[in-house]
């Protein structure tokens, strides 16, 4: 097979700018939390773009939006391409959105070239990939593959107590189509790397062969609220200083466990949160990851030990809850090989790698052959407004993506 | 002088229960933040009690409520007694309220006994002593003594952006009387100790001869928001792990500086506050105190050094702002001596001590001879719902307080 699918970089760029304007921040970032007004607006644009292409648009019960382009074989299973349009709070313009837009440009390029693929191609925008408004990431794809019950997803609430189902209804994206596994031939997602390696190695494309295993823990240290003045240091049970000790130890865990492990405390809250009161309660999250599931398990155990030790030395108590755990993923070699061959065919410098971040593709891999493409992140920067991928890298990624898609639909 | 002023313990108890019911929490605490509906309700009760006693009630521009009982000498300066009726969030029933109620019982006892004092006596309830809703403690007394400009106090906002002046107007306690220094003969305040020493030493009363110097700092560490997965540990600039290091060092400062010093981090917030994003910003408060002002100054310097070092090691930046600083206070020996003599006359076991907590009396001391009485706090417990002083100790405190007041009005 030697054809290539010609994308239109100018049109791709125009769409990128148009989509980036919805929820744009003053500092060139994107604040487009799932199921907000901004998310509704970008979904409307997406649906309109799909309809302009003559695609058959479906919205499922989770608000996942699909656009289907039929192939020559009416009985063939479709190839699914896409990513997510929601963003982190004050996040960047590339995370998620770029993966949807390379899929959109691929659909447009197929139409331009008048290609009838053997298999159908479906483009998708997944709901609540980020998990920052409703704290369960990759939720739309998680329900789709049968990992999360629909009702559990519906019952999630944001910090203001809004239920996810109500948020879906409010913006008119609680669809009728069933959100459940169905036969797919393959799935492909392009994403920014969100790490430093492609840039460091001078490669424009990463062929992603797997994803780290991950766990999220919620730790609470219980101390005793007392007045910051008359309470001597030695009689205190300070939940925050204990938490600070645990946080320092959690930071040092990866060094002790493996070369690839990472550990992060991203949230912390104290009570009563008063400047002159010793904190009676400190609640914080722990995120641990490695490609080795045993390392993640050990990290969970050691994190609990450190939280327990810190609480105990302060004279307090603790709780530790595992709120999310997902083993490492090995993507389908067939799809990764197609992506590598596509990279070669468009002369992209590429490397094979694994991902430290979770992606919808990780869930898709549970029901179909899946892999991913990465493009470089300048300075490894992500989840903030300065997130950046050069336009040249975006175009190289789009060319590789379109070509991979074509190969998956026809080989 | 050998008379004593007889208080009525049962009446005192009934008032304590009645006042404690307003803003009561499920766990026997008090949640009565300044200028809320609950504060309005307890103020109305207080005003009604003062009017029942025939006192001349005045509300000033800061919402401070005064009740005046005239003395024999129409030209004499009054003795001012009282404390505050606002509470910490989910605070206790004794902090502040007890000091107002022993003053109220003293007024009632004077009336019962038909005593005409030489000097007038005024009872007071100060606005926003706690500083937990509007973050400037002892605010009503601070404006009264000329420490804080009225307009600055009016312009303070709570976490919901409500201005203090608007909050005063809303509950009908923005009075007409000028809030400014005026001649006083002396001021006396009873308060719970909020520390462990009276209980440890088996004394029922503390004669407070001074108050610690204090400083409040606001520290911010600036890091870099990146994805918790693909960002290797060694390339991170994590604002929270840096803050955790600084918090640990701040906790150890008192040990290095003096026997009496204390240091507390009561509040912390991170951004973007997302479970899988490395914090780009960690903001926390530092409260340092000592009776020795030089120790407080050194604690401020060392706290800044620790914040700077932690930020620097993480590769980040920092800001440190001093939001409040007050030197140590030495109370008037004449008033403290009167209190000690009163304690002896009612057979209360007492000790002389200094206070680690700020109180309205600290400001009053700037314009008149002032001292305080402490009663024990069980387990040194305060600023939470379990705050407790035995009723026996409350009565002993009230007897000592009434007797001290009588001495101040007539000697």
The pLDDT tens digits along chain B (411 residues) read: 445 789 999 999 999 999 999 999 999 999 999 999 999 999 999 999 999 999 999 999 999 999 999 999 989 999 999 999 999 999 999 999 999 999 999 999 999 999 999 999 999 999 999 998 998 889 999 999 999 999 999 999 999 999 999 999 999 999 999 999 999 999 999 999 999 999 999 999 999 999 999 999 999 999 999 899 999 999 999 999 999 999 999 999 999 999 999 999 999 999 999 898 999 999 999 999 999 999 999 999 999 999 999 999 999 999 999 998 989 999 999 999 999 999 999 999 999 999 999 999 999 999 999 999 999 999 988 888 999 999 999 999 999 999 999 999 986
Q: Which of A227, A251, A356 sits opposite B194 (nearest CB)?
A: A227
B234 shares contact with chain A (CB less than 8 Å) = no
Q: Are residues A155 and A201 in the same domain?
A: yes
Query: Which residues in chain A are closer than 8 Å to B276, comparing Cβ atoms?
Result: 131, 137, 216, 264, 266, 287, 357, 383
Q: Are residues B67 and B151 in the same domain?
A: yes
Query: CA-to-CA distance for B75 and A281, rounded, in angstroms?
Result: 54
Whether the upstream peptide bond of residue A272 has omega within 30° of 0, thus cis, is yes
The mean predicted confidence, pLDDT, of chain A is: 96
B247/A235 CB distance under 8 A: no
List pLDDT tens digits, range A308-354. 999 999 999 999 999 989 899 999 999 999 999 999 999 999 999 99
Q: Are residues B160 and B110 in the same domain?
A: yes
B270/A270 CB distance under 8 A: no
Q: Are residues B310 and B365 in the same domain?
A: no
Q: For residue B247, which phi and psi values (nearest 5 degrees)?
A: -65, -40
Q: Which residues are bridge partners to B39 per DSSP?
A: none
Query: CA-to-CA distance for A98 and A400, rounded, in angstroms?
Result: 13
Q: Are residues B316 and B341 in the same domain?
A: no
Q: Tell whether B4 is covered by a domain.
A: no
CA geometry: angle A126, A44, B225, nearest 5 deg: 50
Query: CA-to-CA distance for B276 and B328, rounded, in angstroms?
Result: 45
Cβ contacts below 8 Å, chain A against chain B, sum to: 245
Structural domain count, chain A: 2
What string of H, E and C letters represents the secondary structure of B101-164?
A: HHHHHHHHHHHHHCCCCCCCEEEEEECCCCCCCCCCCCHHHHHHCCCCCHHHHHCCECCCCCEH
CATH number of the domain where residue B146 is located: 3.40.630.10
Find the helix packing angle between A97-112 and A9-20, rounded to 10°.
140
Query: CA-to-CA distance for B328 and B303, rounded, in angstroms?
Result: 19
CA end-to-end span of chain B: 8
Q: Are A43 and A151 in contact (CB under 8 A)?
A: no
Instruction: Identify the band that residue A397 occupies on the pLDDT scale cut at 50, 70 and 90.
Output: very high
CATH number of the domain where residue A277 is located: 3.30.70.360
Q: Which of B135, B267, B380 sits opposite A231 (nearest CB)?
A: B380
Whether the upstream peptide bond of residue A259 has omega within 30° of 0, thus cis, is no
A233/B255 CB distance under 8 A: yes
A358/B265 CB distance under 8 A: no
Query: Which residues in chain A are closer than 8 Å to B135, comparing Cβ atoms?
Result: 275
Domain final residue, candidates B326, B345, B367? B326
List pLDDT tens digits, range A220-262. 999 999 899 999 999 999 999 999 999 999 999 999 999 999 9
Query: CA-to-CA distance for B334 and B188, rounded, in angstroms?
Result: 11
A195 shares contact with chain B (CB less than 8 Å) = yes
Q: Which two tokens stand for residue A109?
A: 């390029």
pLDDT at A103 over 90: yes
What string of H, E and C letters represents the secondary structure of A28-58?
A: CCECCCCCCHHHHHHHHHHHHHHHHCCCEEE
Q: Are residues A145 and A293 in the same domain?
A: no
Q: Tell whether A261 is covered by a domain.
A: yes
pLDDT of residue B2: 47
List pLDDT tens digits, range A167-220. 999 999 999 999 999 999 999 999 999 999 999 999 999 999 999 999 999 999
Domain final residue, candidates B283, B309, B326? B326
Query: CA-to-CA distance for A94 and A117, rounded, in angstroms?
Result: 28
Q: Are residues A289 and A194 in the same domain?
A: no
Query: Which residues in chain A are closer than 8 Å to B88, comparing Cβ atoms?
Result: 272, 274, 277
**By C-alpha distance, which of B303, B404, B410, B375 is closest to B81?**
B404
Average pLDDT over residues A11-36: 97
Q: Are strands A329-330 and A186-192 parallel, antiparallel or unpaired?
A: unpaired
**In this structure, is the dihedral angle defined by the CA atoms of residues A132, A135, A136 and A141, taken in order, positive or negative?**
negative
Q: Which of B232, B275, B383 sits opposite A262 (nearest CB)?
A: B232
Q: Are residues A256 and A359 in the same domain?
A: no
* Interface list for B 238-257 with A (CB within 8 A): 238, 240-241, 243-245, 247-248, 251, 254-255
Q: Provide the shortest C-alpha distance from residue B195 to chain A (in Å).
A: 5
Q: Tell whether A375 is covered by a domain.
A: yes
Q: Tell whether B62 is covered by a domain.
A: yes
Q: Tell whether A2 is covered by a domain.
A: no
Q: Provide the shortest C-alpha distance from residue A284 to chain B (in Å).
A: 9
Query: CA-to-CA distance for B404 and B370, rounded, in angstroms?
Result: 12
DSSP SS3 for A222: strand
Q: Please name the helix (run of DSSP H) or strand (run of DSSP E) that holds residue B405, with its range, or none.
A: helix B391-410
Instruction: Identify the band that residue A1 occupies on the pLDDT scale cut at 50, 70 and 90.
Output: very low
Instruction: Identify the band that residue A411 occupies on the pLDDT scale cut at 50, 70 and 90.
Output: low
B229/A262 CB distance under 8 A: yes
pLDDT of residue A384: 82
Q: Are strands A205-211 and A329-330 parallel, antiparallel or unpaired?
A: antiparallel
Q: Tell whether B3 is covered by a domain.
A: no
Q: Tell whether A4 is covered by a domain.
A: no
Query: CA-to-CA distance for B65 and B359, rounded, in angstroms?
Result: 17
Segments of A337-401 assigned E as strands = 350-355, 369-375
Q: For residue B37, which phi and psi values (nearest 5 degrees)?
A: -60, -40
pLDDT of residue B4: 73
DSSP SS3 for A126: strand
Domain final residue, candidates B294, B326, B358? B326
Residue-number span of the structural domain to which A284 is assigned: 213-326
In angstroms, how far is CA A35 from the centroid of its own chain?
A: 16
Q: Are residues A139 and A247 in the same domain?
A: no
Q: Are residues B206 and B348 in the same domain?
A: yes
Contacts of residue A259, Cβ cutoff 8 Å, sequence gap at least 6: none
Q: Are B163 and B154 in contact (CB under 8 A)?
A: yes
Q: Which of A266, A275, A358 sits opposite B278 (nearest CB)?
A: A266
Query: Which residues in chain B are closer than 8 Å to A254, comparing Cβ atoms?
Result: 233
A354 shares contact with chain B (CB less than 8 Å) = no
Tell me which chain A residue has its CA closest to the CA of residue B323: A275
Query: CA-to-CA distance for B198 and A227, rounded, in angstroms?
Result: 16
pLDDT of residue A3: 58
Q: Provide the shortest C-alpha distance from residue B47 to chain A (in Å).
A: 29
CA geometry: angle A228, A233, A234, nearest 5 deg: 140
Q: Are residues A234 and A279 in the same domain?
A: yes
Q: Which two tokens stand for residue B371?
A: 């001292």
Query: Which residues in chain A are closer than 8 Å to B381, comparing Cβ atoms?
Result: 224, 226
CA end-to-end span of chain A: 8
Q: Are B284 and B271 in contact (CB under 8 A)?
A: no
Best probe of the B interface among A156, A276, A303, A323, by most B CBs < 10 A, is: A276
Q: Which two tokens stand for residue B126?
A: 């100060």
Residues A255-294 as b or e (16 or more Cβ within 10 Å = b): eebbeebbbbbbbbbbbbbbbbbbbbbbbbbbbbbbbbbe
- What ipTM goes with this model? 0.84
User: What count of other Cβ atoms lies within 10 Å of the Cβ of residue A146?
Assistant: 14
> What percentage of residues in chain A have a pLDDT greater than 90?
93
Q: Which of B229, B244, B384 sits opposite A356 (nearest CB)?
A: B229
B224/A264 CB distance under 8 A: no
pLDDT of residue B1: 45
Query: CA-to-CA distance for A97 and B180, rounded, in angstroms?
Result: 60
B34 shares contact with chain A (CB less than 8 Å) = no
A287/B270 CB distance under 8 A: no
Q: For residue B82, which phi and psi values (nearest 5 degrees)?
A: 150, -170
Q: Provide the shortest C-alpha distance from residue B224 to chain A (in Å).
A: 9
Q: Which two tokens stand for residue B298?
A: 């050194």
Instruction: Identify the band that residue A396 occupies on the pLDDT scale cut at 50, 70 and 90.
Output: very high
The 8-class DSSP code of residue B260 comes to: S
Q: Tell whether A3 is covered by a domain.
A: no
Q: Are residues A40 and A70 in the same domain?
A: yes
Instruction: Identify the band that residue A381 occupies on the pLDDT scale cut at 50, 70 and 90.
Output: confident
């Amino acid at each position: 097979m030697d054809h290539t699918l010609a994308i239109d970089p100018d049109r791709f760029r125009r769409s990128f700018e148009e989509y980036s304007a919805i929820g744009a921040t003053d500092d060139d970032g994107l604040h487009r939390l799932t199921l907000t007004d901004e998310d509704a607006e970008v979904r409307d644009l997406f649906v309109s773009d799909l309809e302009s292409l003559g695609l058959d648009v479906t919205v499922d019960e989770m608000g996942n939006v699909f656009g289907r382009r039929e192939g020559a074989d009416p009985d063939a299973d479709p190839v699914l391409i896409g990513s997510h349009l929601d963003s982190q709070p004050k996040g960047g313009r590339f995370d998620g959105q770029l993966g949807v837009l390379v899929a959109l440009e691929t659909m447009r390029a197929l139409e331009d070239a008048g290609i009838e693929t053997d298999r159908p191609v479906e483009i998708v925008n997944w709901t609540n990939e980020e998990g920052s408004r409703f704290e369960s990431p990759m939720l739309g794809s998680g329900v789709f593959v049968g990992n999360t019950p629909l009702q559990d997803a519906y019952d999630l609430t944001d910090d203001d107590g809004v239920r996810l189902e109500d948020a879906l209804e409010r913006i008119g994206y609680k669809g009728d189509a069933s959100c459940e596994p169905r036969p797919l031939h393959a799935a492909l997602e392009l994403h920014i790397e969100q790490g430093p390696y492609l840039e460091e190695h001078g490669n424009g494309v990463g062929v992603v062969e797997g994803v780290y295993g991950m766990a999220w823990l919620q730790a609470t240290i219980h101390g005793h609220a007392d007045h910051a003045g008359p309470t001597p240091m030695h009689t205190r049970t300070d939940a925050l200083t204990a938490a600070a000790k645990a946080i320092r130890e959690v930071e040092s865990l990866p060094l002790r466990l493996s070369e690839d492990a990472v550990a992060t405390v991203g949230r912390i809250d104290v009570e009563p949160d008063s400047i002159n009161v010793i904190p009676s309660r400190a609640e914080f999250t722990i995120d641990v990851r490695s490609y080795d599931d045993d390392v993640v398990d050990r990290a969970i155990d050691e994190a609990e030990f450190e939280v327990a030790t810190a609480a105990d030395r302060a004279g307090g108590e603790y709780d530790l809850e595992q709120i999310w755990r997902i083993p490492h993923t090995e993507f389908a070699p067939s799809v990764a090989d197609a992506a590598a061959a596509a990279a070669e065919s468009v002369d992209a410098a590429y490397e094979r790698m694994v991902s430290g971040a979770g992606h919808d593709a990780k869930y898709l891999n549970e029901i179909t052959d899946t892999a991913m493409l990465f493009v470089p992140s300048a300075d490894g920067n992500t989840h903030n407004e300065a997130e950046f991928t050069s336009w040249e890298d975006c175009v190289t990624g789009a060319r590789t993506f379109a070509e991979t898609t074509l190969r998956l639909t026809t080989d």
